[in-house]
Structure 1
Amino acid sequence: MKKNKKLLFRIELNYAFVQSGFWLAHLVLQGFSAVFLAYKGFSNTQIGITNSVMSVLSICFQLIVSSFSDHRSDIPIKRIMASLMLFAMISSAMLMKLPLSITLVAIVYTIGGGIHNANSALVNAQIMQYVNAGLDVNYGWPRGVGSMAYAITAFILGNQLDKHSPSILMPLYMVFIFLTIIVCLLMPNVSSVADKSVALYVQEKNSDRTTFLQMIRGNRTLFFFLLASVLLYMGQTPNMLFLVRVVYHLGGGSKELGICMLIQSGMEMPAMFVVPTLLKKYKARNLLVFSFIAYAAKTFIISMASSMSIMYIAMFLSVLCYGLYGVCASFFANDIVAQGEKVRAQGLVSLASYLGAIIGNLIAGVLIDGIGINALLNISWVIQSFAAAIMFMCASIDKKRAAKL
């Protein structure tokens, strides 16, 4: 028993470093995307289009990578992740060292970002493979540590960008992603620490190979969950991409932007510590409905904000937004699909977020340049309200499905 607890803690601690490294790299690459691209001479519309194209590539890479991972049981997830991170690292080196035109910057940035984002589903699948193999690992606190690392670094980086050029972002990305590759490869192989067979967490060797389309068509719960997630991210992603514009509109600067990101990500950590306990008492579907409502409420408050104080208050609602969604979505997707579809289910959840980002970012840049940030915020909370309604419908369908089992 003592040995088992020691093993679980070793996995969780290692995974906490993976989460921290990945999200720190994500922060400098995409958390300050609008700042970096504006520094390179991009307009709001160009920033929106660039991030939408990145989301398209992210979807393509997600589909290929998650399907490949499900079908190739002989290649550990961590090796696939490390390979993708290495390619993303090369892209960041090109952005840092080569004198590129705006067009070439957009091409390299979108490809590198798309490859980086392809890992987001695998990061979740990496811990879920231990869960599916019968190990009682805790997803919550390692993910919470990642959020806290993101929050603290966002605050520090926000202050530093007032003093230094955004050119520091790409070197930082290379450092963070390199460290993530190391800790990722240090994760123990599931087959060496679990009693159950490998077939429990990857595509079963002799099982029927379902396609993505067959998965969605044959699973109403999954379909409505993905639809709700697309709408959620249509409203959410543009707000995060152009958070800097909202802050500047309220009279703030890079320091205030860093504070917003600190509060937002910092509030996610307490929720992620508590969620595993909540999941023992409440169904993931019900927590997700609550989270969707919180997202809409948060964006509504931001749209009504007349000062940075109200903006900070809205950021505190993040404890009920991604703080709940980040963990519950992974468990919910894992539970509602069959064996052999687990990794692809995580990929589809990430795919839904990128599809929402494509639509949202395309509209956002044009709206801000045309009729202003307030119009974007009002449209966003209305879309998120629709997402909450669909998530409620999804929860009802899943409840009926579970009752028949």
Structure 2
Amino acid sequence: MKYISKVNPSSRITAKYSFIHGSYWMAFGATYNFVTVYLLAKNYSSSAIGIIMAITNILSAILQPVVASYADQEKKYTLKSLMMIFLSLSTSFSILLYFTKASNSINAFVYFLLLLSMLTVHPLLNGLGMKYIEKGYGINFGFSRSMGSLTYAVMSVVLGNLVDKNGPELLPLYYFVLFFITTAATVLFLRSFPYPNDETAEEPKNQRVKQSLSLLEFTKMYSGFTLYLVGVIFIFICFNIINIYMIRIIESVGGSEKNMGTAFAIAAIVELPFMLTFSSLLRKFKIETLLIVSAWAFTAKVLLTFFAESLLVIYIAQGFQMFSYALFIPGSIYYVTTSLHKSHMLKGQAYTTSATTVGAVLGSLIGGYLLSFTTIRTMLAVGFIVSIIGTLLMILGIRKATLCSQEKLM
């Protein structure tokens, strides 16, 4: 299978790549999860914070493919240099955030820039791992990504205690430290394993493809993959409806914030086994099969949550994270590299991230609207229908992309 390591997974390169993931997802979780805490302390209303986050996510969904297109072209700005630029920006904005705390409006704008630069690193980090795997380096991507999930969970607990003890004013300094560590981890990785250049033979003229594609050109060239992405958006609408409004779902069956924490902890723990062993799964199952299983698992999770009348059933539903999110996250990264031409790989990674981001924004808006005028049960019923549509679109897109690939080989 294309883009599975040509050598056995190497513990040394996997460890150093995992170090980047571990530090990045700590920085990600800190800046993203504590934005409300920080801005509320600056006297911003919840609605204002919601607008800031919506604008940030929408702009990041636009910016990520643009940045990726530059990296795909491998000319002036390589993937390596772009990743270092945006990590440096994130580090700089973090310390700037601390020194602009006297002005709330400037402070909020700097936080917006910090989030935008931080989110742009995400597809570049995934693409970096795939670049090395393509060149034969034995990176266990699933293991590295699982380390990100683990450190994310640990950071949430530690930072929560620090904020309780010291207040939110010091958050920018914590951000600075985490982004500095991420940047240092990236530099260490690149020095230990020099960035691989494309020194492949020139492609025949009849096989060459245009490197820089507009959105319209991309959707036309990769119609199956585009349909798959639309399915991802639908699935992540419902996925985020449940995550964002979990406290309301928990309260509807008599639970509390403590039970919500337990539900999220279950989801985080059950993710690890399949993420850790994803490379082994790829040797036994087709990537398309794993993604289809994940799509149905997302929908099953919604259905079970809809019928839940007790905390136990909600906890069981959270257990489906093992077959849904845990398979989708590494699977979607590998799927891009098997479905698209290498010149469009990073743009594909960015579009995938953008699809999940758009799903998050729409999930927040749709869920909030439904809860304002209907019930929890109605919200989950709508979510189930949306998830079914997304699952079918994903399957159709995957099958269409597979047929197109087979036709090109004939």
Q: Give the CA deviation at 1:346.
A: 0.8
Contact 1:247 1:308 in 2 (8 A): yes
2:342 counterpart SS class: coil
Q: Give the CA deviation at 1:106.
A: 4.9
Q: What does 1:219-298 align with in structure 2 at a 5 Å threshold?
A: 219-243=222-246, 246=249, 250-253=254-257, 255-298=258-301
Which amino acid is 2:227 matched to? Answer: F
CA distance in 1, matches of 2:200, 2:246: 43
Which amino acid is 1:56 matched to? Answer: I
Q: Give the CA deviation at 1:241.
A: 3.7
Q: Which residue of 2 aligns with 1:342?
A: 345
1:316 is aligned to 2:319: yes
Q: Which residue of 2 aligns with 1:137?
A: 139
Q: What does 1:116-265 align with in structure 2 at a 5 Å threshold?
A: 116-157=118-159, 165-167=167-169, 169-188=171-190, 192=194, 197=199, 208-213=210-215, 214-243=217-246, 246=249, 250-253=254-257, 255-265=258-268
Q: Give the CA deviation at 1:288.
A: 0.8
2:277 counterpart SS class: helix
Q: Choose the corresponding residue for 2:83, options 81, 84, 94.
A: 81
Q: Output the TM-score relative to the length of structure 2.
A: 0.83
Q: Give the CA deviation at 1:221.
A: 1.9
Q: Choose the corresponding residue for 1:108, options 103, 107, 110.
A: 110
1:398 is aligned to 2:398: no
Which amino acid is 1:252 matched to? Answer: S
Distance verdict in 2 for CA 1:80–1:373, change over 3 Å: farther
2:189 counterpart SS class: coil
CA distance in 1, matches of 2:31, 2:241: 16
Q: Give the CA deviation at 1:231.
A: 1.3
Instruction: Report % sequence identity.
Output: 23
Give unpaired runs (5+ residues) of structure 1: 201-205
Deviates more, 1:167-176 or 1:19-28: 167-176
Q: Give the CA deviation at 1:154.
A: 3.1
Q: Which residue of 2 aligns with 1:388?
A: 391
Distance verdict in 2 for CA 1:361–1:310, change over 3 Å: same
RMSD of aligned residue pairs (Cα, Å): 3.3
Distance verdict in 2 for CA 1:92–1:315, change over 3 Å: farther
Contact 2:163 2:171 in 1 (8 A): no
Spell out, residue by residue over 1:32-87, the C-alpha distance to the aligned partner (whole angstroms, 9 max, x if none): 44555555555554444332211112123212211121224454533322321232
Q: Give the CA deviation at 1:260.
A: 3.5
Spell out, residue by residue over 1:215-247, the C-alpha distance to the aligned partner (whole angstroms, 9 max, x if none): 221112211111111112222234334445555
Contact 1:45 1:366 in 2 (8 A): no
Which amino acid is 1:401 matched to? Answer: C
Q: Choose the corresponding residue for 1:17, options 12, 19, 22.
A: 19
Distance verdict in 2 for CA 1:133–1:189, change over 3 Å: farther
CA distance in 2, matches of 1:229, 1:91: 31
Give unpaired runs (5+ residues) of structure 2: 1-5, 203-207
Q: Give the CA deviation at 1:393.
A: 1.0
CA distance in 2, matches of 1:265, 1:212: 37
Which amino acid is 2:68 matched to? Answer: S
CA distance in 1, matches of 2:36, 2:310: 22
Contact 1:303 1:377 in 2 (8 A): yes
2:296 counterpart SS class: helix
Q: Give the CA deviation at 1:120.
A: 0.9
Deviates more, 1:315-324 or 1:29-38: 29-38
Q: Give the CA deviation at 1:274.
A: 2.1
Contact 2:228 2:396 in 1 (8 A): no
Which amino acid is 2:321 matched to? Answer: S
Which amino acid is 1:124 matched to? Answer: N
Q: Which residue of 2 aligns with 1:203?
A: none
Q: Which residue of 1 aligns with 2:71?
A: 69
